[in-house]
Chain A
Amino acid sequence: MPISVWHPSTDVFHCDEKWFVKMELAGVQPDELSIRSSEGTLLVSGCRRDIVRQDNLNYHSLEINYCQFERRVMLPFTIDSSSIRWDYSNGMLLIELGRATEA
């Protein structure tokens, strides 16, 4: 059951025909990442869990968003889902999108 709780900050840019979506999304296990596309919408969701796990943990303050996130990115074209490539390194998720050819 997907619950969208927070939305990562996102840049969208393109270089000629190549479109990119960049998200600031640190601390997420790659296998908890979900990337889907539907026509002109790109949907990125997942779950960020606290990596610090130990007993007698005592939070003094908390500002980082945990748990489910979701980001829906609208693009001015139909996405070719097969052309989606993604890379997740140093806390940045970079997704490359291709325009679906008009059939």
Chain B
Amino acid sequence: MPETPVQTPPAETGLRILPLLPIKEIVVLPHVEYPIVVGRSRSMAAVETALSSEDKLLIVFTQRDSSVDLPGQDDLHPVGTRSLIRRMERLPNGAISLSLRGLDRVILRDLDKGQNFLQGKFDVLTMAEERNSQVEALHREVLEQASELDKLMEGNWPKGMLSQIIHAQASPLDHVYTLCSVLKVSKEQQQEILEATTVFDALRLVHEYLNHEIQVLSLQKEIASQTAQNITKDQRRHLLRRQMEQIQKELGESNPQQAEMEEWREQLEQADLPDAAADVAQRELDRLERLPPEAQEYQLARTYLELILDLPWNRSTEHTLDLTEARKILDEDHFDLKEVKDRIIENLAMYKLNPKSRGAILCFVGGPGVGKTSLGASIARALGRKFERISLGGLHDEAELRGHRRTYIGAMPGRVIQAIKRTGVNNPLIMLDEVDKLGRDYRGDPSAALMEILDPSQNDKFRDNYLDIDFDLSNVFFLTTANTLDTIPRPLLDRMEVLRLSGYTEEEKVQIAKRYLLPRQLKEVNLDENRIAISDEILRHVVRRYTREAGVRELERQIARLVRKSALPFAEGKHEKVTVELDRIIDLLGSERFFIENMRKVPVPGVVTGLAWTEAGGDILFIETVLIPEGKGLILTGQLGDVMKESAQAAQSYIRSQAEKLNIPTSVFKDNGVHIHIPAGAIPKDGPSAGVTIATSLVSLFCGKPVRSDTAMTGEITLAGLVMPVGGIKEKILAAHRAGLKRIILPNDNLKDLTEIDDAIKKDIEFIPVTHLNEVFEAGVGGE
């Protein structure tokens, strides 16, 4: 039924020109009311004009770019809204606060910028009221979405807000505009909706937007609920921990772990680590923090971290390299050893000229007590480096040097890294003691690891199994010591430059005792030479009668004993100076231990003095031979090695083959066996150097002529009777000199070794160089 008009006003003539208000941030939609504050003077003028009109209307257009201050037609979206000013109020700052109500959609035809405000010519855009099933379906769908959105946003806005707004209205278009204004639809989307030409299009746009919004919201909600779960778990732990701390505080117990972590962190920040190490340390610290202190892992990680922080990655001592000073220090600490000192100074000189140079590793070889280790210490002093000693004796596990991997329980870094850690600098002098006593078995070969450590071209990236980070060892000055070279693996020996420290002579020992050992021992008992006087004569007597060694270790012990006994009166409160007298020595040190004149005084045929080289220096030994009547063959006793036995056989064969020339009746060989014994029987002996001696003793025996007892000999022989050079001449001569021998028969080729011998000794001993056995027999057996 149509409406019945009772009273109708005249039809609207259509206002086609109105003041235009450009707005920046929002889009005014029809049927929706907006609070707007107008501040721009042109806009205010437009509003003033609208206010003074009879129906308070203006048109509102949204700017495309909100940064434009004086927009032209191109800066505005073409479709805007005719709006009514419902309320208006002036704000204290001069701006106008408006409540604008959108009425209908208009399209801007022309913009008049002539006045002090904008005026727009426009047409009203009508929208056909579509009432078809498509619109209906879409409309219902939108309404459903709105209520779903209500559910999703529960708690974020008043319950069922959208549904309430929507049900108060009727037309689909109303719903579209209202939803848009309430929801967070962007300016661009709102403009698009405003420009939609049909109800269906507008609905579709809103539908799209709602759909998107619902998906995002449900996803957001899902994420939020997940994080909420995580957060509550974390918060719970945090809370509990806080409570625990509080309880501990109340109980007077602090939390050591927390404090420790802080400390670690601080240390790590301050430590000067290379990047690789810092990374590893950081990772380890993070791991440590997550571990409970009770875990076994915790201790492991802690120890490891401690090591990384303790290692001197970039810490080093400034080393002085004053060659004169270095020589002075070496001389101060050690007597003589001129050759070795020269070599050390040469090395230092090379190092001074080119600090990058990688000189060979020095290896000191010599008997015990000759001062290898203390020489190392004094080189360190001369260089101004820290000294650290690693004893390799008996080391048979590669892991000892290179460390165990951390997976093993009780794993530790290797000795090298430990030594570096102890010194606290990355350029110490490390002495690898007793390289000759490295063991080797199925657990690995430590000498192989040692090779890597000593190789200057590899050791700048030394990787300890435990540390597992490259450590630069190239600044470390390595020294090695050994008693003998025989047991050092060849490739390892190749990397080292051998410096021999042979034994000291008697005179040297006396000097060492006087300058170093005695003052040191006196210092031990806190006395000086003004209180206890020990003359050179006494020292020499001690050297001779109480020691027999290449080094001075036993000598030091004897001197210590002497000093100790002499110091006794001072401890008992006496104050007179004590002078050690020669005749009191037996009281102080006990009976004499060694007799130098143990060269046999009465020469007997078949007994000859030989010279031997031992690890303790040289020694003399006697070769005794007897004929065994009606015996047969050759008996060799005295723990002789194969080489020595063979040289005995060679000696016998040579003599038998030359019997005629030597005036030996052949019947001697037929009727008698020969027994050769070399005392002391308990000490194993080997080597070819006794060949000459054995041959001489046999000749002496067969001829029945004794050999001069002041004559000693050494040399290897061949079946042809040639005398070959042997080693250890210096030690042997020292031993002979010690034993009081006067003549030494030695291979001609060994004459060059005599340069190493002190002139004092050369004066005492007559050297007889030989090339053939016959000369030996002549010199040894023939003369008299």
Q: A residues engaging B (CB < 8 A)?
A: 1, 3, 5-6, 31-39, 43, 46-47, 49-51, 53, 55, 57-63, 65-68, 81, 84, 86
Q: How far does the alpha carbon of A1 sit from the alpha carbon of B87 in the complex, in Å? A: 23
The answer, yes or no, to whether B54 is at the interface (CB within 8 Å) is yes
Q: Complex formed: what's the CA distance from A57 to B56 in Å?
A: 13
A42 — nearest CB in chain B belongs to which residue?
Answer: B6
Q: Report yes or no: B103 in contact with A3, Cβ–Cβ below 8 A.
A: yes
Residues of B within 8 A of A57 (CB): 51-52
B86 adjacent to chain A (CB < 8 Å): yes
Q: Do B56 and A67 touch (CB < 8 A)?
A: yes
- Provide a sorted-by-A list of 11 A–B residue pairs whose CB atoms are within 8 angstroms: A1-B126, A3-B104, A34-B6, A34-B9, A36-B3, A36-B8, A47-B9, A49-B55, A50-B56, A57-B51, A86-B6
Top 10 closest A-B pairs, CB basis?
A49-B54, A62-B88, A57-B52, A35-B6, A81-B4, A32-B9, A59-B51, A50-B54, A36-B3, A35-B7
A71 to chain B, nearest CB (A): 14
Whether B104 lies near A1 (C-beta < 8 A) is yes
Given contacts A34-B7, A37-B6, 9 further A-B contacts (CB under 8 A): A1-B126, A5-B86, A57-B51, A60-B90, A61-B90, A62-B56, A63-B87, A67-B103, A86-B7
Bound complex: CA of A62 vs CA of B53, how far in Å? 13
Taking CB atoms, residues of chain A closer than 8 Å to B4 are 36-38, 81
**Chain B interface: which size bin?**
20 to 34
- B7 & A50 in contact (Cβ 8 Å cutoff): no
Residues of B within 8 A of A35 (CB): 5-7
In the complex the two chains form, is B101's CB within 8 Å of A5's CB? yes
- Kindly provide the distance from the CB of B296 to the nearest chain A CB, expressed in whole angstroms: 80
Neighbour of A67 across the interface among B2, B57, B87, CB < 8 A: B57
Q: Which of chain A's residues have a CB closer than 8 A to the CB of B332? A: none
Count A-B pairs with CB separation below 8 Å: 87
- Give, as a whole number of angstroms, the nearest-CB distance from B559 to chain A: 118
Measured between beta carbons, the chain A residues less than 8 angstroms from B57 are 67
Q: B6–A81 contact, CB under 8 A?
A: yes
B6-A50 in contact (CB<8A): no
B5 adjacent to A34 (CB under 8 Å): yes
Q: How far is the CB of A5 from chain B (nearest CB, A)?
A: 6
Return chain B residues, CB-CB under 8 Å to A6. Answer: 86
Cα–Cα distance between A34 and B57 once the two chains are bound (Å): 21
Contact status B48-A58, CB under 8 Å: yes
Docked complex Cα distance between A58 and B89 (Å): 12
Q: A38-B1, A81-B4 are in contact. Are A59 and B9 (CB under 8 A)?
A: no
A53: min CB distance to chain B, Å: 6
Complex Cα gap A55–B48 (Å): 11
Q: Is the CB of B55 within 8 A of A66?
A: yes
Structural contact, A34 and B8, CB atoms closer than 8 A: yes
Closest A-chain residue to B5, C-beta based? A36
Of B53, B54, B104, B124, most buried by chain A (CB within 10 Å of CB) is B54
Q: Least Cβ distance of A42 to chain B in Å?
A: 9
- Tell me whether B20 is interfacial, beta carbon within 8 Å: no
B126: chain A residues at CB < 8 Å are 1
For the complex, is B532 an interface residue (Cβ under 8 Å from A)?
no
Which B residues lie within 8 Å of A49 (CB)? 54-55
Give the interface centre of A37, A49, A59 by most chain B CB atoms within 10 Å. A59
Q: How far is the CB of B479 from chain A (nearest CB, A)?
A: 101
| Complex CA distance for A17 and B1, rounded to whole angstroms | 24
Is B7 a contact partner of A65 (Cβ separation < 8 A)? no
A46 to B8, CA, bound (A): 8
Which residues of chain B (72-119) have a CB below 8 Å from chain A? 84-90, 101, 103-104
Q: A88 → chain B, closest Cβ, in Å? A: 10
Determine how close the nearest CB of chain B comes to the CB of A75; give it in whole angstroms: 14
- CA distance in complex: A49, B9 (Å): 13
User: In the complex, what residues of B have CB within 8 A of residue A3's CB?
Assistant: 103-104
Closest chain B residue to A43 by CB distance? Answer: B3
B84 close to A59 (CB less than 8 A): no
| Pair A61/B1 contact, Cβ less than 8 Å | no
Q: Which residue of B lies closest to A57 (CB)?
A: B52
Is the CB–CB distance between B51 and A62 below 8 Å? Answer: yes
Q: Which of A1, A31, A38, A66 makes the CB contact (< 8 A) with B9?
A: A31
Residue of B nearest to A85 (CB): B6
Whether, in the assembled complex, B10 has its beta carbon less than 8 Å from a beta carbon of chain A, the answer is: yes
Please pick, from A37, A51, A55, the residue contacting B3 in the complex, using a CB distance under 8 A.
A37
- The answer on a CB contact under 8 Å between A38 and B90 is no
Question: Do residues B88 and A61 form an inter-chain contact, with CB atoms below 8 A?
Answer: yes
Chain A CB within 8 A of B12 CB: yes
Residue of A nearest to B12 (CB): A1
**Closest chain A residue, CB of each to CB of B6:** A35
What residues of chain B lie closer than 8 Å to A62, measured between beta carbons? 51, 56, 85, 87-89
Residues of B within 8 A of A67 (CB): 55-57, 84, 103
Question: Which chain A residues border B7 with CB–CB below 8 Å?
Answer: 33-35, 86
Q: Which of A33, A51, A61, A66 contacts B56 (CB 8 A)?
A: A66
Find residues 382-420 in chain B having any chain A CB closer than 8 Å to their own CB.
none
Nearest CB in chain B: distance from A30 CB, A: 8
A47 touches B55 (CB 8 A): yes
Interface residues of B in 113-151 (CB under 8 A from A): 124, 126
List the A residue with the shortest CB-CB distance to B9. A32
Closest Cβ of chain B to A62, distance in Å, is 4
Q: How far is the CA of A103 from the CA of B6 in the complex (A)?
A: 22
